[in-house]
Chains A and B, each alone.
Chain A
Amino acid sequence: MPTETIAGTTVEVNDEGFFEHPEQWTPEMATELARQEGIAELTPKHWQVIEFMRKEYAKKGTGPTVRVLGKTSGVSVKELYQLFPKGPAKVAAKIAGIPKPRGCI
């Protein structure tokens, strides 16, 4: 299993860089993870999405789809794509330290 050192802590990730153990994630890691994804600064809106992702994962064992995010996170689909241009569900999941959501929608 590959490991990565983020914010001074070594964590286990999969081949695509998604966390294997979401409990290893800390909010301090998010900034560095975001930078790797080309997001220079995490705004309060970004954090709203990241926190929502973690809550959903804790509840359901999987990250939400973009549609669910748009409907229930308080951030619209349009805004989500502005915040995470390279794919909100996937990129936010990576920054939030949860596994990559799998789904066609």
Chain B
Amino acid sequence: MGAEPIQKVSIIISKGSLEGIYPGLILANGARAEGIEANLFFTFFGLDAIHKKRHDHIKVATVGNPGMHLATLIGGLPGMSALATHMMEKKMSELDIPPIPEFVEMIADTGAGLYACKASVDMFGLDRDDFVEQVQDIITVGESYEQAAGGQIIFT
């Protein structure tokens, strides 16, 4: 004890896999539950978490993911990623962890800020309409740092 409590966090989500997105969402929601100010910055494939057409179809990576404890060849079989995703979603639902679209909406309702990275949005040829309405803005890295000032930055 004795250390100052954390007042504000900026969480950067850069991966588009289930295991890449959930930790950031859980950390953001958990921060708000503790009364900590939270902003989320979605960059690169992390944009899929707030992409209207994609955020309900996020999959677990079964290839190149040693955490799966599967031979890469097996992980690469057709349907493996879908199967692993299905199993994980079932387990999470039992634990009352919401699906990504609902989770994103709930986190926005807690008052957390949701932002898309401008460089990534441009790179993928996306625009505002591709994202869920909860996204507040498309901002630059510089603006994201400005927002993060005085707080902790978490990269997932």
Using a CB–CB cutoff of 8 Å, the interface residues on chain A facing chain B are: 65-68, 70, 76-78, 81, 85-91, 104-105
Among the listed B26, B34, B109, B111, which residue makes an inter-chain contact with A70, where contact means beta carbons less than 8 Å apart? B109
Give the distance in Å from the alpha carbon of A81 to the alpha carbon of B109 in the complex.
Answer: 8
Number of interface residues of B (CB under 8 A): 15
Give the distance in Å from the alpha carbon of A55 to the alpha carbon of B32 in the complex.
Answer: 24
CB-based nearest A residue for B112: A81
Decide: A105 near B34, CB < 8 A? Known: A67-B106, A77-B106: no
Give every chain A residue within 8 A of B30 (Cβ-Cβ). Answer: 104-105
- What is the CB-to-nearest-CB distance from B88 to chain A, in angstroms, rounded to a whole number? 15
Decide: A104 near B26, CB < 8 A? Known: A87-B34, A90-B33: yes
Contact A81 B98 (CB under 8 A): no
Instruction: Kindly list the 10 A-B residue pairs having the minimum CB-CB distance in the complex, ordered from nearest.
Output: A86-B35, A77-B109, A87-B35, A78-B109, A87-B33, A81-B111, A87-B34, A81-B110, A105-B97, A77-B106
Q: Which residues B81-116 have CB closer than 8 A to chain A?
A: 95-98, 106, 109-111
